[in-house]
Homo-oligomer: A and B are copies of this chain.
Amino acid sequence: MDNFTFYSPTYFVFGKETENETGKYVKRFGGHKALIHYGGGSVKKSGLLDRVKKSLENDGIAYCELGGVKPNPRSGLVYEGIDLCRKEGVDFILAVGGGSTIDSAKAIAAGVPYDGDFWDFYQGKPVDEAVPIGVVLTIAAAGSEGSGDSVITKEEGMFKRSAGGDAMRPKFSILNPALTQTLPPYQTACGITDIMAHLYERYLTNTKDVEVTDRVIEGLLLTMIHEAPRVMADPNNYEARANIMWAGMLAHNNCCGVGRTQDWASHNLEHELSAMYDCAHGAGLAVAMPAVFTYNLNHDVMRFAKAAVRGWGIQMDFDNPERTAKEGIEALRSFLISLGMPKNLEELGGKEEDIEKLAYTACYGDVETGTTGGFVVLNQKDCENVYRLML
């Protein structure tokens, strides 16, 4: 196991009707005037925004609002949010939404006290200071409610890049699984796929002898395999929603990813897909993961076999572990398709002729490393090959 530090200081408030305590927690964590940041009309239509405002009012918290966050959140709205916060003297940022809204809120929070362009943080500058952030979560997916990370797309060039730092960790996150019951099934499935990707990206490691994190990842994967079909069959199943929501947090606050190298090739290749085609992140991952894993299979057959046996309950073929490993990847692919996820680039709206550009941007985009992935280091040619496996 590698040396590591682990820090997850967010106060989680989980369960039914907990959004009515929002004001109490903004107050506890020092807020006086909040920016309520959200996406489209669903938080209005559902009445959630009104309940959150009422809770703020009950605790004497002033607020202003900025809606309009879109999936794959853009830099333009971040600049707008930073200006608004400065003008209004905001001292707390409250994200009411999913990963995109939270990530946008984190970018605003980091940008407000910073003299330069907030995009610097998305080009590698550490975030040392940020306005405190709170979350009312509306979808189990990104894990951003328990992480110090944020992903933003810069409109000039459509670069999708990430920033991170402890200052961007939410002070509190309110997780009410009932709020996710009204999601369209496709969005629920995208969230489930994202959570499963967070588990796989950590599982695919070159660090030896990490049984404890392997076992926790497997346990969370088994949970997703058990709960996802229940929630797809009955969107109002609170218990299944609750299990998925807590799994989503644990999958990404990194308690199961510490002390080991991780991969993130699927995420990185997906970022180019959603930047180019504006597809849902989860949908892109559903196409990217089986391709990346198939391409990387022979790097460590036994690790893929372990995921197959322990995660998917496949019988080990002791004479041919590669067969078991492949069966595990096929099980993942079939599972995601059964949730309604796309199965190839075409279904994402992608085209074969874009592959060269996708691979180039993945390797030589805004961050010019020339490679991607920590499990197997993929160069531009490798990325092209992986994208071709998505056809």
Contacts and interface: CB of A to CB of B under 8 A. Distances in A.
Contact of A2 (B1, B5, B15, B215): B15
Given A209-B239, A243-B210, A255-B255, A216 B15 contact: no
A277 interface: no
Nearest to A240: B209
A125 interface: no
Contact of A15 (B4, B10, B212): B4
Contacts of A213: 246
A9 interface: yes
A114 interface: no
B1 A258 contact: no
Given A8-B8, A14-B4, A216 B220 contact: yes
A360 interface: no
Given A219-B215, A227-B211, A11 B7 contact: yes
A258 B246 contact: yes
A14 B259 contact: yes
Interface string A1-24: 111111111111111101000000
B255 A250 contact: yes
Contact of A12 (B1, B7, B210): B7
A288 interface: no
Contacts of A255: 250, 255
Interface string A196-209: 00000000000011
A223 B243 contact: no
A265 interface: no
A239 B210 CA distance: 8
A242 interface: yes
A247 interface: yes
10 contacts: A1-B15, A1-B239, A2-B15, A9-B9, A9-B11, A15-B259, A211-B223, A211-B227, A215-B220, A218-B219
